[in-house]
């Protein structure tokens, strides 16, 4: 199963108006494990960077002026996310709104909402009433976000990937260790029903050879009468 953990940075909040994407960061998971494949690009928003956005992202007009337009990176972005991978996004409606606005302007098909998996909603369902920002979830799960002085799309994607794996049950979400308690001699079938394990009609024969048994006995004899082996002989 392929998933793309994704984040965008923007000039503001009005995707259908004057605000634009200035950065995209994404990384690939396969079967809930990072593959090392990432996508990262800065985008020229074709407008001045507002001071409040600069304070959050640290991306100024001089830095962004020579970066490509979204239309120039759209094909590479679409190739990276593919056609069917889930897009794991924190507050997905925000990023999807901006991505689709940019894709529409560039003449590309938009992304269907069904492709997005919103970790904000996932966190609110799992921890109702608790803070669910990315920083709050990093603190909850012990994810080191000390390098997050400014918002950066690729760094936030890396942090979100760790948070997402914790939200779905840790780094091995398919390995369930806290199932129904089992009594001694019981096993759980694939359908969830419990069955008593059959006992062997005859014990397995010992695997020690006579020579090994004799050597062990000679070793125990050297330990004296207080040796633990002599107490249960």
- Per-residue pLDDT reduced to its tens digit, 77-109: 999 999 999 999 999 999 999 999 999 999 999
CA 46 to chain centroid, in Å, comes to 33
- Residue 226 tokens read as 């207080």
Structure tokens at 51: 């001071």
Rg (CA), the chain: 28
> Could you tell me if 163 and 141 are in contact, meaning their C-beta atoms sit under 8 angstroms apart?
yes
What does the mean pLDDT of the chain come to?
83
Domain layout of the chain by residue ranges: 2-167
Residue 3 corresponds to which tokens in the numbers above?
């998933």
User: pLDDT tens digits, residue range 189-211?
Assistant: 444 444 444 555 566 566 667 77
The band of 228, judged by pLDDT with boundaries at 50, 70 and 90, is low
Task: Catalogue the E-assigned strands of 142-219.
Answer: 186-188, 194-196
Known active-site residue 32: no
- Per the residue annotation, which of 32, 151, 195, 216 is the catalytic one? 151
- Integer Cα distance of 108 and 110 in angstroms: 6
Output the six-digit token pair for 25.
């960061």
Go through the chain and tell me how many residues it has: 233
- Give the global pTM: 0.71
Residues in CB range of 230: below 8 A, 6 or more apart: 220, 223
Q: Does domain 2-167 have CATH number 3.30.420.10?
A: yes
Of the candidates 151, 40, 17, the residue with the CA atom closest to the CA atom of residue 97: 17
3-state secondary structure of 120: helix
Kind of pairing, strands 33-42 and 2-10?
unpaired
């Amino acid at each position: 199963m392929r998933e793309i953990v994704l984040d965008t940075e923007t000039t503001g909040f009005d995707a259908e108006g004057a605000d634009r994407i200035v950065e995209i960061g994404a990384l690939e998971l396969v079967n809930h494990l990072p593959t090392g494949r990432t996508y990262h690009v800065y985008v020229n928003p074709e407008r001045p960077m507002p001071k409040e956005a600069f304070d959050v992202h640290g991306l100024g007009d001089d830095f962004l002026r020579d970066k490509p337009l979204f239309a120039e990176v759209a094909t590479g972005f679409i190739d990276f996310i593919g056609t069917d991978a889930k897009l794991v996004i924190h507050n997905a409606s925000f990023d999807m709104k901006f991505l689709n606005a940019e894709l529409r302007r560039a003449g590309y098909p938009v992304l269907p909402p069904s492709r997005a998996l919103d970790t904000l909603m996932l966190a609110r369902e799992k921890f109702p009433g608790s803070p669910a920002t990315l920083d709050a979830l990093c603190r909850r799960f012990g994810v080191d976000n000390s390098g997050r002085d400014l918002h950066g799309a690729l760094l936030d994607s890396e942090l979100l990937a760790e948070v997402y794996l914790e939200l779905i049950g840790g780094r091995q979400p398919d390995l369930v260790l806290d199932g129904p308690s089992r009594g001694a001699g019981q096993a759980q079938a694939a359908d969830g029903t419990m069955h008593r394990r059959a006992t062997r009609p005859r014990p397995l024969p010992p695997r020690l050879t006579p020579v090994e048994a004799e050597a062990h006995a000679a070793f125990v004899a050297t330990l004296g009468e207080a040796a633990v082996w002599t107490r249960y002989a």
